[in-house]
Amino acid sequence: MSVDLKTVKRVAHLARIALSEEEAERMMGELNGILGFVAQLSEVDVTGVEPMTSVMPMAMKKRKDVVNDGNIADDIVANAPETDRNFFLVPKVVE
């Protein structure tokens, strides 16, 4: 895949970036270089390679997935102007 000058100008316009003709020409070369590198990466055989989170082997820090209310409902609604059984009371906005 390669990028032409028209595409570079369109992307710059969508990104709200002002580019001169020289800058657009330079960006076209840079973007084509990046896309060429990505194409090279897709040629690499990665069968049997596990996904990594880091280059150093480490165990993920995990916590138990426990559902609770935090036991601080009273603290959460403490500054609310009106509450009812730990629920916020708000004015009706739809008739």
What are the pLDDT digits (tens) for 11-62? 999 999 999 999 999 999 999 999 999 999 889 998 988 888 788 888 878 8
Cα 65 to chain centroid distance, Å, stands at 23
Q: Look at residue 73 and tell me whether its pLDDT is greater than 90.
A: no
pLDDT at position 57: 81
> Nearest-5° angle of CA 2, CA 35, CA 26?
70
Domain locations in the chain?
Answer: 5-42
pTM score, two decimals? Answer: 0.50
> Nearest-5° angle of CA 36, CA 41, CA 45?
145
Looking at domain 5-42, its CATH class is mainly alpha
Per-residue pLDDT band for 4 (boundaries 50, 70, 90) equals: very high
pLDDT at position 37: 94
